[in-house]
Structure 1
Amino acid sequence: MPDMLQTIHHAAIICSDYPTSRAFYVETLGLAVIAEHYREARQSYKLDLALPGGGQIELFSFPDAPPRPSRPEAQGLRHLAFTVSDVAECKTALEAKGIAVEPIRVDEYTGRRFTFFADPDGLPLELYEG
């Protein structure tokens, strides 16, 4: 598939509590809102959020969406990783906002620092030093 895939455009996340997840991604993580729509027929919100590198997160709410197992290592999406310039600085900033962040580790293959935290639904999010 040469030249077919260029980059990741977006990651879609279904949340259990829209106001809580919206506040987390917009206020805590600081992502900019591109568009927000309430879809009456589905009783669902769709929030498009901009990532600084050009990618997006689509945040959805659906009534009675079933939980998705993430631990132990379930099949499917394992985690969503964000590149940051300084993992320790970002860890400190998240902890100052009351977010639990795992200890910083070093990738044994790349030598880069990384850590994990979770969104309000327990989706594992990674900070990876670029």
Structure 2
Amino acid sequence: MLNLKGIHHIAIIASDYEKSKSFYTEVLGFTIDREVNRAERQSFKLDLSLNGQYCIELFSFPEPPKRPSRPEATGLRHLAFQVENIEEAIEELVKKDVHPEPIRIDEFTGKKFTFFADPDDLPIELYEV
């Protein structure tokens, strides 16, 4: 048994580092813990936390290949974040010019959820808890 304790972080490679940095901090509200310029790799690494918990490593690399998103490809499908009130969360996103899909209802839990995309079209879900 591995005895895993939880997820430590999620790594994301951005095609436009500054645009994604702005999206994850100013739109989604992540806090910057550390930013490192890895000059030897022509790369930046941005450590982001949410509510005091380290969550995302945002990377830049020169000319990364596009990520297939639609049709759905093998691999990471989407990121999902919990919210208490999905309508309020959507209002905040729209104020920041992010327009989620219409709210859907999870057929198994009866909970509300919606999707939108980050600057590289990575699907992000909001799930009401």
**Match of residue 96 from structure 1:** 95
**Match of residue 36 from structure 2:** 37
Amino acid at match of 1:42: R
**Match of residue 6 from structure 2:** 7
CA-to-aligned-CA distance 1:37-56 (integer Å, 9 cap, x gap): 00000010000000227241
d(CA) in 1 for partners of 2:118 and 2:7? 20
SS in 1 for 2:53: coil
**Match of residue 115 from structure 1:** 114
Amino acid at match of 2:35: E
Are the equivalent residues in 2 in contact too, given 1:8–1:55 (CA < 8 A)? no
Q: Which runs of 4+ in 1 moved over 6 A?
A: none
Amino acid at match of 1:41: E
Amino acid at match of 1:52: N
**Match of residue 16 from structure 1:** 15
Alignment partner of 1:83 is 2:75: no
Give the % identical residues: 59
Task: Give ranges in structure 2 of 5+ residues lacking alignment.
Answer: none
CA-to-aligned-CA distance 1:73-118 (integer Å, 9 cap, x gap): 1100000000111111101110111002110111001111110010
Task: Give ranges in structure 1 of 5+ residues lacking alignment.
Answer: none
What's the TM-score once normalised by structure 2's chain length? 0.96
**Match of residue 105 from structure 2:** 106
d(CA) in 1 for partners of 2:17 and 2:72? 26
Residues 69-80 of structure 1: pairs in structure 2 closer than 5 A: 69-80=68-79
Cα root mean square deviation, aligned: 1.2
Amino acid at match of 1:81: A
What's the TM-score once normalised by structure 1's chain length? 0.95
